[in-house]
Structure formats: structure tokens, C-alpha cells
Amino acid sequence: MYSITLGPLTLDFDAALITVPNKGDYDWMNEEWGDIRQEIVILQGETSAKVIGVTGRFAEKGPHAVEIISPHIFIESEVVDHLLTKPDTSGLSETKVRSAVRTVRHSWGKLISLDWKELGHAPGGTEYCILPTDGPAISMGFLRLDWNGLRIRPAS
């Protein structure tokens, strides 16, 4: 199990995940991909963490800055607005960028993601923010966890 402490919150999770081709060939046109666990190293700061993937490629390796978004955000629409302000989205219509944003509900809150492949970036990747039910939004960068196994608790 891994833990990341972000000031008032601690994230506990069993696994970080990466996607690999089922046939072992990193051809981006390959349609057959599967998820595997990624070995990671966590460099814990006082109120944030840097996560480095030991396995994986490109954006999967990071480093991923995991931190509470500042100023604090507690509303889904404001998390989406935060994702819309990314420098690589300039020049794209707001409608196009919003169409690349997804929200999924979990027991701990909401997972809000921006799919860069949909915006024409190759090889793409997905950037994640989590919005805990009882806490401020957290930027996960391109770090993908086993979201169903994520637990968020007050820091001890």
C-alpha cells in the first residue's frame, strides 16, 4: 500500500497503473492495450508529493506533482475551469477542450480527467484531478491510480 500526505489529507492506494500493449509492441495504432501495476517512488514533501514511475513510458513515468490545487477548489465546475487554463489548451475552442473532460463518481468523491489525445496531442495521456467529497480538489498530473481502491482520510 502507498500513502501520500497533502497537508490536511492523506491518500491511501494499492496501486498506480499504466497501460501496455497486449502484444508487447508500443505501436500507438495498436488497439489492444491492458492495465498493469506500475512500481512508483514517492518523494513526500510537507504539503505535496512528487511521484516517479519506475516502470512505464513517456508521461506515465512523470515526475507527477500531486498537490492540493491552490487556491482551494471545492466545486466540479471550477476543477473543469482549472483544467481549461492549461497552457497547451490555448488556441483550442473551449467547446473542444470541454469535450475532452470526463467526470466519474466514486465512493470517495469525483475523478475529473482531461484526455490530451482527444485534443490532438500525441501520444496523448490523461491528466487527472480528484475532488474528494469532504475536501479540496487535488491535482494528480498524469498519475493514474486504481481509482476504485483509493481511500482519502484526514492526515494524522
4-51 pLDDT per residue, tens:
999 999 999 998 887 666 666 656 565 676 677 888 899 999 999 999
CA 27 to chain centre: 23
Distance in angstroms (rounded) separating the CA atoms of residues 73 and 96: 23
Q: Report the pLDDT value the prediction gives residue 139, as an integer from 0 to 100.
A: 97
Q: Nearest 5°: phi and psi at 83?
A: -65, -30
Residues 6+ apart with CB under 8 A from 132: 9, 108, 109, 138, 152
Cross-strand bridge partners of residue 145: 16
pTM for the full predicted model:
0.85
pLDDT in tens, 87-130: 676 677 778 778 889 999 999 999 999 987 777 666 667 899 99
Indicate if the pLDDT at residue 85 is higher than 90: no
Cell readout for 63 is 515526475
CB contact at 8 A, 19 and 30: no
**Average pLDDT in the 70-82 region?**
94
Indicate if the pLDDT at residue 59 is higher than 80: no
Cell readout for 128 is 487527472
Residues 6+ apart with CB under 8 A from 11: 3, 4, 5, 66, 138, 150, 151, 152
- Would you call 96 helix, strand, or coil by DSSP? helix
